[in-house]
Chain A
Amino acid sequence: MNTDRIEREVSIEAPIERVWEALTKAESIGMWFGDGAAATIDLRVGGVMVINHGEHGTYPTLIVAVDPPRAFSYRWAGGYPGDLATEENSTLVEFTLRSTPDGTVLHLVESGFDALTLPTDRVATGGFESHSKGWTGVIAKFAQYVMGTDETPLVSSS
């Protein structure tokens, strides 16, 4: 079992520029990653993107790569609401986009789980489970909001 990284991919029937916009525009980010309200984003390396998850708090993520329309990466401290992402408290989220005859393939890697230090009370109480349950609730609610209750699988995923 690889516990360090998550890797997924999706095919999108839209040009790469459209996917780039969906990925990086404040209003869209709020829809796919936040609670629906527009995120704030300073789209440059070293810039901060603030994701709002309502009652669960806000997540100031740190942008580490911007190469429109091909690459977008940031660090986020999912275990530490309110804290700016650093090397110690966060995972690295990397999106890469590539054009295909049908549109665009969007590739995602979230890595750094093995080196992640989570608050000790969470670890001690088997907090991964409870922590992720909280997250699942938020994401599920958001998914219903954005996409209805559609649960069809992705076109492709690894």
Chain B
Amino acid sequence: MLTALADPTRRDLLELLSVHGEATATVLADDLPISRQAVAQHLAVLDEVGLVMGHRQGREHRFVVCPEPLDETARWMAQLSQQWDRRLRAIQRIAEAAHRVSPK
């Protein structure tokens, strides 16, 4: 999912779609410097990783943003940060213990 978000155009697209709430590739392409086909391709990538969901309404293929995977990524990053806190604290203890045993 992070790979899907690595592309700045896809980030813009996702933000734009969240502003619209629900939109077609044609509508989104109006606000972006890329073609409707390019928008559709980006939407397909985002759909694959679960960041957007498409559904048919009449002749239109409409998309909405699915925020859950983003929340999951936020949680994942928070967990990684906590792991680093623990590791840094371990380094802190090791260095301070060594310093107490033989101060320089």
Binding site for B on A (CB under 8 A): 1, 3, 6, 8-10, 12-15, 17-19, 21-23, 28, 31-33, 104, 106, 108, 110, 113-118, 123, 126, 128-129, 132, 135-136, 139-140, 142-143, 146-147, 150, 153-154, 157
A22 touches B94 (CB 8 A): yes
Binding site for A on B (CB under 8 A): 1-3, 5-6, 49-50, 69-70, 72-77, 79-96, 98-99, 104
CA distance A157 to B89 in the complex (A): 11
CA distance A15 to B79 in the complex (A): 30
B96 touches A116 (CB 8 A): no
- Closest chain B residue to A78 by CB distance? B80
B3 touches A3 (CB 8 A): no
**With A129-B72, A136-B79: A31-B88 Cβ-Cβ less than 8 Å:** no
Contacts of A118 in B (CB 8 A): 2-3
Contacts of B92 in A (CB 8 A): 10, 12, 106
Return A32 CB to nearest CB of chain B, in Å: 4
Contact of A19 among B69, B83, B90, B95 (CB under 8 A): B95
